[in-house]
Amino acid sequence: MEADNGHELITVIVNRGYAEDIMDRARKAGAKGGTILHARGTGKPEDEKFFGVAIVPEKEEVLILADTDNSAAIQEAILALPCLTTPGIGIMYTTRVSRFAQLGR
Domain ranges of the chain: 7-96
Rounded to 10 degrees, the C-alpha dihedral 61/66/69/70 comes to -60
Q: Amino acid identity, residue 62?
A: V
d(CA 80, CA 17): 17
Instruction: For residue range 79-104, list pLDDT tens digits in order.
Output: 999 999 988 889 999 999 998 888 99
1 pLDDT higher than 80: no
Better-predicted residue by pLDDT, 61 or 48: 61
pLDDT at 2: 55
What band does 20 get if pLDDT is binned at 50, 70 and 90?
Answer: very high
pLDDT at 3: 61
Domain 7-96 has CATH 3.30.70.120: yes
d(CA 19, CA 68): 22
C-alpha triplet 16, 13, 4: angle, nearest 5°: 150
User: DSSP class of residue 45?
Assistant: G
Instruction: For residue range 51-72, list pLDDT tens digits in order.
Output: 665 555 789 999 999 999 999 9
Rounded average pLDDT over 12-37: 97
Residues 6+ apart with CB under 8 A from 43: 57
